[in-house]
Structure 1
Amino acid sequence: MEQNHQYGRYYKQVKPALESKIEEFKIFGYEHVREKELWDYLTKKKWKKPREETQIYEIVADILSAKIGDVMNFTTVEAFKLGDFALDDEEELKELLK
């Protein structure tokens, strides 16, 4: 996981909360969400600007309050960023930009 993030030092301590949230997602039918994807969402989106004096209970609360829609949107955008997309067809580009 991303140890570069300021909250990375808490990863082992909050791992049970991450696992619990992943299990919750599975109950709602989102069986393919992985712990890494949830952690990436939290570190790159939710905690983009970490606070200096955050408490571990605040980190756990953020994990447990994560919404599947937010995680899935973030994961989708990240996948698009990594993909090679060529919009060579000008008509497709115009249709997309409507």
Structure 2
Amino acid sequence: MNNGHMNGEFRTEVQPALKSKLEEFRLLGMESVSEQELWGFLVKKKWKKVKHEMRLYEMIQEILSVKASDYLNFITIESYKSSEFSLENEEELKELLK
């Protein structure tokens, strides 16, 4: 199970760490975060520049060290990237310039 990342083969082995981090997020009031979303954050942000095959203990350490604020910042930026705001729409431009 690669999931598009060189460390994807360990996903089933690190699943307990993912579940633990999701439980921590739930205690902080972040009930809507899924395992898939957390994994996506790790792949796109934490492990984006990893050039070597990580060891299992390194992956678990990275998962358990994720801060809620880092995850929230990541999703905020991702939502801005996918936003369909365009200055070509005259009404949106007028609303912005108010």
Same structural fold, with TM-score higher than 0.5 when normalized by the shorter chain: yes
Matched residue count:
94
Equivalent-residue separation in structure 2 for 1:43 and 1:79 (angstroms): 17
Q: CA deviation at 1:53?
A: 4.0
Q: From the two aligned structures, give the one with the greater helix fraction.
A: 1
Unaligned stretches of 5+ residues in structure 1: none
Q: CA deviation at 1:54?
A: 2.1
Q: Does 2:21 correspond to 1:21?
A: yes
Structure 1 runs of 4+ off > 6 angstroms? none
Equivalent residue, structure 1, for 2:56:
56
Equivalent-residue separation in structure 2 for 1:80 and 1:8 (angstroms): 27
| TM-score normalized by the length of structure 2 | 0.83
Q: CA deviation at 1:47?
A: 0.4
Q: Is the contact made by 2:7 and 2:53 (CA closer than 8 Å) also made in structure 1?
A: no
Identity fraction in percent: 46
Equivalent residue, structure 1, for 2:96:
92
Equivalent-residue separation in structure 2 for 1:71 and 1:34 (angstroms): 12
| TM-score normalized by the length of structure 1 | 0.83
Equivalent residue, structure 2, for 1:10:
10
Amino acid in the other structure paired with 1:18:
L
Moved more, 75-84 or 37-46: 75-84
Equivalent residue, structure 2, for 1:40:
40
Amino acid in the other structure paired with 1:77:
I
Say what the alpha-carbon RMSD is for the aligned residues. 2.1
Unaligned stretches of 5+ residues in structure 2: none
Q: CA deviation at 1:29?
A: 1.1
Moved more, 77-86 or 4-13: 77-86
Equivalent-residue separation in structure 2 for 1:91 and 1:79 (angstroms): 20
